[in-house]
Structure 1
Amino acid sequence: MKLLIVDDHDIVRQGVRRLLSILPDSEVSEAGTVEEGFDAYMREKPAVVVLDINLAGGSGLELLTRLRSADHDVRVVMFSMHADPAYANRALRSGALAFVGKSASADELIEAVKSASAGRRYIDKRLASDMVLNPVEGDPLQSLTNRETEILRLLGEGKSLNEIANTFGIAYKTVANTCTRLKEKLGVERTADLIRISLERITPRAPG
């Protein structure tokens, strides 16, 4: 079974590769950026893609959308530190079959890959419990596009508008206009409020 890991951290890719290599007849390849991930998928057509949200040159959510446009049958496991019900719901709505937080056990990632390869959905246990306790219906974050969500996340990480523009290869004005739309959608007036929302809902906190 061909598998593709797309993550921007070498150490994560190496660890996931070792883990997935225990699966029978597995052939595991890696990519670290949006473009590398897309090219690797189109070249190798793996059975399952294990995809992070944070990527160089864009985001995993945007890569997911591109992959789905190129191959509607692509099977994706989102594997991210952003283990939030809103993020998981967005990924599943965008076409991912599974979502596993990076704090989940190795067994859960293996189970997610097996489920996705069989065309079944899988959400790690802790996140599934959070989704039951904190339903996302009516959550204004769900009205955001994938690009808007990623810009909001980067604001919470302390990135300037110029840095965000460079991350996505877009104009500063495009980012500024997106921030204006974010304020309208989330009912706030200041960029500081966007940063607060990002810190509360999107940007993962360091453990401890």
Structure 2
Amino acid sequence: MDATPSIRVILADDHQVVRHGIKQFLSAAGIAVIAEAENGEQAIHLIEQHRPDVAVLDIQMPVYSGIEVARRVRAKGLPIGLLILTAYDDDPFIMAALEAGVNGFVLKTADMEEIIDAVRAVHEGKSALDPEILPKLMRAVAASHEVKKTVEPLTEREMEVLQATARGLTNKAIGLMLGISDRTVQGHLRRIFEKLNAASRTEAVVTASQLGLLNLPTSHETPPD
């Protein structure tokens, strides 16, 4: 294990005991919790101040919910990984979180190792979805999109980018694989989002699966966000 933690995290939860427990096992894994927030307003302030690698957010918090924090962070264009860690797994919460631009959604009932892995995945630009969430996510996407037989076709290059996205590759890795720049990858993803009416990488992959364009991974690997 590296002596210097490689990932800087802000932890937002209105229960001090929960924050303490999460901080302990993240720290033991070499992940530094650099600041803690007990409400959404404080979380936004600390994120702006410290610019962490990852913000771990509860959904139900005073002032602003974790979902509202995610919306505001994304609106500011801050390049921070956002992980929802919550006890709530209702379909509307899942979809609202994805639409807000979170990179992961994990339940508090998950094992410590799963939460640690989720933080690391989000830091790497991947998605982290609790295995119990994926069926709910697919139902939620199906309910929110009237999934049609035909959409504006994806180009061959867009399909290559989408397939690489579903495998968990970051923009940089996709660019290296396809011989294009990170900026070009980002442009392809923007067009993919528009064509699939998706608000995030995860939603794009799940929607493409609903349309029969992709097969979702069957293991614990999940599409990045």
Q: What's the TM-score, normalizing by structure 1?
A: 0.62
> Structure 1 counterpart of 2:142, which letter?
E
> How many pairs were matched up?
139
1:9 equivalent to 2:18? Answer no
Query: What's the CA shift string for 1:72-130, capped at 9, x where partnerless?
Result: 42210001111123322221221100000111211111111000000101101112244
1:20 equivalent to 2:26? Answer yes
Paired-residue identity, %: 27
Query: What's the CA shift string for 1:166-195, capped at 9, x where partnerless?
Result: xxxxxxxxxxxxxxxxxxxxxxxxxxxxxx
Find the residue that maps to 1:56 and give its secondary structure. Answer: coil
Residue number in structure 1 paired with 2:97:
91
Taking a change above 3 Å as real, the CA distance of residues 64 and 135 of structure 1, as seen in their structure-2 partners, is closer
Taking a change above 3 Å as real, the CA distance of residues 2 and 15 of structure 1, as seen in their structure-2 partners, is same
1:138 equivalent to 2:138? Answer no
1:61 equivalent to 2:67? Answer yes
Taking a change above 3 Å as real, the CA distance of residues 94 and 14 of structure 1, as seen in their structure-2 partners, is same
1:31-180 alignment runs, 5 A limit: 31-132=37-138, 134-139=139-144
For structure 2, the 5+ residue unaligned runs are 1-6, 146-225
Measured on the aligned residues, the alpha-carbon RMSD in Å equals 1.8
Tell me the CA shift for residue 69 of structure 1. Answer: 1.4
Query: What's the CA shift string for 1:132-188, capped at 9, x where partnerless?
Result: 4x3442259xxxxxxxxxxxxxxxxxxxxxxxxxxxxxxxxxxxxxxxxxxxxxxxx
> Structure 1 counterpart of 2:30, which letter?
P
1:181-200 alignment runs, 5 A limit: none
CA distance in 2 between counterparts of 1:25 and 1:86 reads 30
CA distance in 1 between counterparts of 2:95 and 2:118 reads 16
Tell me the CA shift for residue 25 of structure 1. Answer: 5.6
Residue number in structure 1 paired with 2:203:
none
> Structure 2 counterpart of 1:31, which letter?
A
CA distance in 2 between counterparts of 1:67 and 1:126 reads 26
Residue number in structure 2 paired with 1:206:
none
> Structure 1 counterpart of 2:40, which letter?
V
Q: What's the TM-score, normalizing by structure 2?
A: 0.57
CA distance in 1 between counterparts of 2:10 and 2:25 reads 13
Are 1:47 and 1:75, in contact at CA under 8 Å, matched by a contact in 2? yes
Q: Which has the higher helix share?
A: 1
Taking a change above 3 Å as real, the CA distance of residues 89 and 25 of structure 1, as seen in their structure-2 partners, is closer
Taking a change above 3 Å as real, the CA distance of residues 58 and 3 of structure 1, as seen in their structure-2 partners, is same
Find the residue that maps to 2:125 and give its secondary structure. Answer: coil
> Structure 1 counterpart of 2:11, which letter?
I
Are 1:51 and 1:76, in contact at CA under 8 Å, matched by a contact in 2? yes
